[in-house]
């Protein structure tokens, strides 16, 4: 896999700006709001902003857009920094906050008032909404729109000093209440919030709105290319209006690109927060969540996520990417990296009736079929084994090449065995198989030319490690849950299944964060939160094959 990007339209713009001499250095920023955890859409923005700067010897700021203290916390700040670092990017000494510029933003807002570009409005929030108009009807001027510069300056100063209550006044830009662009209908610049800020403490009781803070922070940091997703395209005229009015020494340029939307997932922070708050998932880092924390805990390698966003590409058109594309990136990465092991998820006991009671043999097993440098390991083989319940069928069809009554199968790295008898419990359920092994068919000895069509995995009962294994699936049953009026109605009740598995003994030493392939089953890793040496808890990262591929392709075609 290669992360070398093609020259998309943003990279072409940057290339042209450097070639023309418009810029001698590229400076970008990644400006997340610390009001939730980052998700797969942010991976695209992180890779783009840090990537285009690095490709051109430039710099990137990690700027925390902390202008809404009621929804922000240090927990989210720390999580954002951890996620960006985990993806492999370093902001060095360029960690900033919108709150770092509260003083400069206040001065810039004051300059707008002095130039007649802003006024203090005393309408209530409902009244402002009523005056704003609709997409088909122009707005109406506030009765406070024509206050004098002196009165506006006095009111704004008193807002800053804490004289008024929340919502009593708001500072608005004076632009055009009849503009077809709703963002230009005298947008709010500052509101009163008597609440402590996670970074600025209780120094401020008025806070700037996002559009104003974001634009001017870009200017203060000498950002050359402010890369935003398409929902900010209609905000660009306001971005440029602020720059035109305030004429900062440096003028950044906003460019929009399409969001990365993932099939069978939601990335709205409101919906993600609802999943957490309602207990539908165990937290922001639940491995079913499309958050970076969730994907890291599930075991997705960094390289696979970066490859995924590279394949998705940077375009101007909104797109919905198949979940299978991301999962295939994970499979390709882990297929090269992960050592092979054997685990039985749904155990069925096998007793080799002609194998000595106390005998134990050590079978040599390859750690990776395509990477001999990873060596081999020894697996204990004994009279009593576990096999996968699905590898036995009593009334098997003709092309079933696993174990069946009277049938033979090879045990991987072991012997050929034949099923001779079935043991049932009182309910008639098969609970044990009595088999016989052929001692002349040990793998690797070449002592027998006898072949069978099926090979299955196994573990020794006496030596097996007990583990709870979590099998994850898509969180939603439809390709685009965002299109549903109530996303709760399309939740996948089978998105998590926990099984009590039996694993080969070497997995008792599996470090947290290291992925392995369970032969024939998929890729797994120890859960970073719940796993313990005495009580192993593993997550299935991804299956070996995409069982949703055909269904997902059909659903994506129907979506257009």
The residues assigned a catalytic role are 33, 259, 269
Which position has the token pair 């001065």?
107
Separation of alpha carbons 113 and 120, rounded Å: 9
Separation of alpha carbons 115 and 107, rounded Å: 12
Q: Is the dihedral of CA 218, 219, 221, 227 positive or negative?
A: positive
Closest residue by Cα to residue 232 from 254, 263, 247, 252 = 254
Given a contact cutoff of 8 angstroms between Cβ atoms, the answer to whether 392 and 344 are in contact is: no
Other C-beta atoms closer than 10 Å to the C-beta of 515 total 21
Buried b (16+ CB within 10 A) or exposed e, 400-436: eebbbeebbbbbbbbbbbebeeeeeeeeeeeeebebb
Closest residue by Cα to residue 539 from 510, 559, 506, 560 = 510
Closest residue by Cα to residue 269 from 65, 533, 520, 496 = 65
| Maximum Cα interatomic distance, the chain, rounded to a whole number of Å | 101
Q: How many H helices and E strands in the chain?
A: 13, 27
Other C-beta atoms closer than 10 Å to the C-beta of 5 total 17
Q: How far is CA 135 from CA 180, 317, 331, in A?
A: 7, 23, 47
Q: How far is CA 92 from CA 50, 53, 60, 81, 411, in A?
A: 12, 13, 9, 12, 53
Structure tokens at 55: 């490709």
Given a contact cutoff of 8 angstroms between Cβ atoms, the answer to whether 533 and 466 are in contact is: no
Closest residue by Cα to residue 271 from 77, 83, 70, 482 = 482
Pairing of strands 516-518, 496-503: unpaired
Separation of alpha carbons 441 and 245, rounded Å: 84
Buried b (16+ CB within 10 A) or exposed e, 6-40: eeeebbeebeebbeeeebeebbbbbbbbbbbbbbb
């Amino acid at each position: 896999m290669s992360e070398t990007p093609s020259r998309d339209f943003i990279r072409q713009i940057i290339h042209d700006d450097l070639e023309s001499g418009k810029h001698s250095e590229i400076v970008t920023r990644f400006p997340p709001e610390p009001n939730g955890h980052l998700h797969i859409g942010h991976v695209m923005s992180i890779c783009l902003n840090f990537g285009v700067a690095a490709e051109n010897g430039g710099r990137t700021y990690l700027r925390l857009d902390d202008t809404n203290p009621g929804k922000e916390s240090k927990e989210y700040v720390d999580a954002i920094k951890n996620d960006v670092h985990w993806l492999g990017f370093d902001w060095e000494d360029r960690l900033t906050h919108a709150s770092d510029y509260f003083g400069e933003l206040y001065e810039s807002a004051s300059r707008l008032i002095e130039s007649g570009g802003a006024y203090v409005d005393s309408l209530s929030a409902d009244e402002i909404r009523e005056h704003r108009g609709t997409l088909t009807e122009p707005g109406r001027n506030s009765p406070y729109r024509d206050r004098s510069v002196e009165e506006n300056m006095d009111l704004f100063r008193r807002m800053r000093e804490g004289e008024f209550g929340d919502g009593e006044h708001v500072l608005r830009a004076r632009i055009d209440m009849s503009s077809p662009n709703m963002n230009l209908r005298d947008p709010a610049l500052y509101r009163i919030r008597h609440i402590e800020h996670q970074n600025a403490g209780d120094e401020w009781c008025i806070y700037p709105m996002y559009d104003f803070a974001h634009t001017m922070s870009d200017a203060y940091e000498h950002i050359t290319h402010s890369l935003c997703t398409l929902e900010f395209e209609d905000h660009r005229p306001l971005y440029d209006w602020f720059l035109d009015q305030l004429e900062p020494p440096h003028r950044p340029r906003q460019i929009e690109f399409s969001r990365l939307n993932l099939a069978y997932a939601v990335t709205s922070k409101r919906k993600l927060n609802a999943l957490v708050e309602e207990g539908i998932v165990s937290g922001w880092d639940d491995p079913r969540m499309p958050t970076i924390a969730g994907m890291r805990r599930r075991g997705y390698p960094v390289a696979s996520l970066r490859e995924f966003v590279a394949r998705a590409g940077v375009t101007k058109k909104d797109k919905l990417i198949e979940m299978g594309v991301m999962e295939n990136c994970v499979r390709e990465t882990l297929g090269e990296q992960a050592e092979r092991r054997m685990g039985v998820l749904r155990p069925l006991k096998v007793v080799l009736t002609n194998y000595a009671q106390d005998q134990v043999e050590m079978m040599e097993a390859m750690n990776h079929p395509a990477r001999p440098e990873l060596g081999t390991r020894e697996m204990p083989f004994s009279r009593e084994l576990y096999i996968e319940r699905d590898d036995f069928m009593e009334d098997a069809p003709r092309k079933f090449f696993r174990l069946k009554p009277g049938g033979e199968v090879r045990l991987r790295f072991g012997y050929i065995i034949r099923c001779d008898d079935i043991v049932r419990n009182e309910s008639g359920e098969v609970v044990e198989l009595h088999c016989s092994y052929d001692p002349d068919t040990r793998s690797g000895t070449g002592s027998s030319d006898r072949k069978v069509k099926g090979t299955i995995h196994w573990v020794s009962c006496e030596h097996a490690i007990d583990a709870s294994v979590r099998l994850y699936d898509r969180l939603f049953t439809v390709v685009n849950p965002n299109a549903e009026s109530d996303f709760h109605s399309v939740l996948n009740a089978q998105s998590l299944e926990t099984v009590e598995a039996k694993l080969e003994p070497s997995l008792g030493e599996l470090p947290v964060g290291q992925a392995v392939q369970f032969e024939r089953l998929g890729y797994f890793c120890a859960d970073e939160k719940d796993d313990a040496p005495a009580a192993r808890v593993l997550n299935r990262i991804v299956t070996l094959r995409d069982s949703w591929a055909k269904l997902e392709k059909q659903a994506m075609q129907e979506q257009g």
